Amino acid sequence: MLGDPGARLAFWMHFSGQFSNHVVVLLWGYAFFVEGQGRTPGEASALLTLNVVAAVVAGPVIGVVVGRHPRARMPLALGTSAAIGLAWLSVTLPSTPVPFAVLCAFVVVVAVGGPTSLVAFDVARSCTPPRRLGTATGFVNTGGFVGALATMLVVGIVLDAASGGGAGGGARDLDAFRAAFAWVAVPWALGVGAMLLGRRSARRAHPGLAV
């Protein structure tokens, strides 16, 4: 699969769309909302619930758009990644807690990355022979999880260092979360860059591929 430009492009599409949402929902979102943004546990729970609702609503819409317009797959992936990058900036650049509405917008935008990442499987299907489709699907599916796990680990390491060692050594305040989340820019840039380069390679290797 590593030798197939189409599969590699699909891998990075899955990586870019999914990793931010996993970082927020699976580990660091609740702590960031409560400890960094000063929100109540109820408000943090509401934000995570909104994230799920947004993903459920966005999924069918994205499916219809991509089904009718296959050439929208790549613009959709790149546009969603751009929106996710701006969403991260909206909550990490301010040195004081942001309004609740901004946090709502943040969780909605990263949520859309989840169903958008699944478009990667359609790209893989479009350029992979049936006999290798299972392998390609498995390979592509690792993208978002690899990105999420690596990012969650780095965020945790930086957060511990910035807060003086975690729960036993210091407070995990907004400044600590800002320092930790700054590292999200690395996988974000890696994913976007790989998609832009991979798009050209995939088109050369698979003439007529709608991306």
Within 8 A by CB and 6+ apart from 83, the residues are 109, 112
Sequence letter at residue 71: R
pTM as predicted: 0.93
Predicted confidence (pLDDT) per residue in 120-179, tens digit: 999 999 888 888 889 999 999 999 999 999 999 999 999 999 988 655 556 799 999 999
Using CA atoms, how far apart are residues 147 and 25, in angstroms rounded to an integer? Answer: 14
Residue spans of the domains in the chain: they are 5-199
Within 8 A by CB and 6+ apart from 182, the residues are 92, 158
Predicted confidence (pLDDT) per residue in 49-92, tens digit: 999 999 999 999 999 999 999 999 999 999 999 999 999 999 99
- The pLDDT score that the predictor gives to residue 209 is 79
To the question of domain 5-199 being in CATH 1.20.1250.20, the answer is: yes
Using an 8 Å Cβ cutoff, are 20 and 149 in contact?
Answer: no
Torsion of CA 172, 175, 179, 184, to 10 degrees: 80
